[in-house]
Amino acid sequence: MKKTLLIGALFIGVISVNAQTKDELKALKSAKEDSISALQSEVDDLKKQIEEFPGWHYGAFGTIGANLSEFSNWYAQGTPNNSAGNITITANPFAKLNREKFFWYNTANINLSWVKFDDKDDPNDDDSFRQATDVFTVTSLYGYKFTKTLAASTLGEYRTTLLNNFNDPGYLDLGIGITWTPISELVVVVHPLNYNIVFSNETTIFDSSLGAKIVANYAKEFGKLKLKSNLSMFQSYKSSNLSNWTWTNGLAYDLWKGIGLGFEFGLRDNKQEALNFAINELGDPNATFDNVDNDLQTYWTFGLSYAF
């Protein structure tokens, strides 16, 4: 009987010690998590101070995506012998100077991709990588500060393609107006006096004109998540057919030492490009600004990203 009671007491004691130890570990874990949260808040505050500190700030993040495959005698599909691939590269670099009386912001957006599908049983099949996505934009904004959030500004923005039809068309916006920076992450440009210069061999379709330019750029870090959004709009005073806008958005999530997942998508509306495509690519000689199908232009990219 005594032996039974002793064993029972030891068993209860072991349970009590384990429970006490587990509770202590939980409490220690909670305390450490609170410490990490407090330190992360301090790190975020320091990052914000660094971003707002006068001087040059540089950075970039981008996406690299690749998918390669090859099939031999895979009879379950219509083309049993083929090789396919997709390669995508995006980059969003920036260089920003912030002083007490003025600022100078420079940004770029580059998105290039190539695809191929080679049917090895077709001797006339194209076995090379072909250009799929081709976006290039560079922007330079200079402002003289009236207040902490308002500045007189001048903007230069150039948009074209790099791999195919470089500078045909190409768009150069030059204008003056005001810039509003309510927070360090947001820049809003309103330039009522802006000239949109269009470079193209198709002078009967593309035309330069005077108009208003609006640009909004937002960039923010939420811990390991980086977000960037840019809207660029031109409203022609000559004709709405010459107006255009482009909206690009990028996300990058850091998984390990700058390597992570990246996603980018873009939207564009440009009636001049739609008319040029209808006449020169689709071969429709009767296409005009009044009857052309000006569908919304879109693209998206997903893959590995690298930030530095």
> What is the percent of the chain where pLDDT is above 70?
87
**Does 201 share its domain with 70?**
yes
> What is residue 14's predicted lDDT score, i.e. its pLDDT?
47
**Does 199 share its domain with 300?**
yes
> What is residue 190's predicted lDDT score, i.e. its pLDDT?
97
**Does 148 share its domain with 261?**
yes
Per-residue pLDDT of 2-56, as tens digits, reads: 555 555 555 555 455 555 577 777 777 777 777 776 776 667 667 666 656 567 8
**Does 220 share its domain with 147?**
yes
**Does 203 share its domain with 245?**
yes
**Does 126 share its domain with 233?**
yes
Both structure tokens of 226 = 């980086």
**Does 157 share its domain with 290?**
yes
Per-residue pLDDT of 54-76, as tens digits, reads: 678 888 877 777 777 888 877 77
Name residues whose C-beta falls within 8 Å of residue 171's C-beta, 6 or more positions apart in sequence. 157, 158, 159, 160, 196, 197, 198, 199, 244
As for how many domains the chain has, the answer is 2
103 or 21, which is more confident?
A: 103
Beta strands 186-199 and 170-180, pairing class: antiparallel
**Does 16 share its domain with 65?**
no
**Does 70 share its domain with 46?**
no
Q: Which domain holds residue 129?
A: 54-307
Mean pLDDT value across the chain: 84
39 or 307, which is more confident?
A: 39
102 and 122 Cβ atoms separated by less than 8 Å = no
Per-residue pLDDT of 237-295, as tens digits, reads: 999 999 999 999 988 888 887 788 888 889 999 999 999 889 888 888 889 999 998 89
**Does 144 share its domain with 256?**
yes
CATH number at residue 242: 2.40.160
Task: Name which of 19-23, 199-203, 295-299 the model is least confident about.
Answer: 19-23
Contacts 24+ apart (CB under 8 A), 230-237: 230/107, 230/109, 232/137, 232/139, 232/157, 232/159, 234/173, 234/194, 234/196, 235/211, 236/196, 236/209, 236/210, 236/211, 237/209, 237/210, 237/211, 237/212
CA distances from 161 to 75, 116, 254, 265 (A): 40, 20, 29, 17
**Does 265 share its domain with 135?**
yes
Angle at 194 between CA 193 and CA 197, to 5 degrees: 155
**Does 43 share its domain with 84?**
no
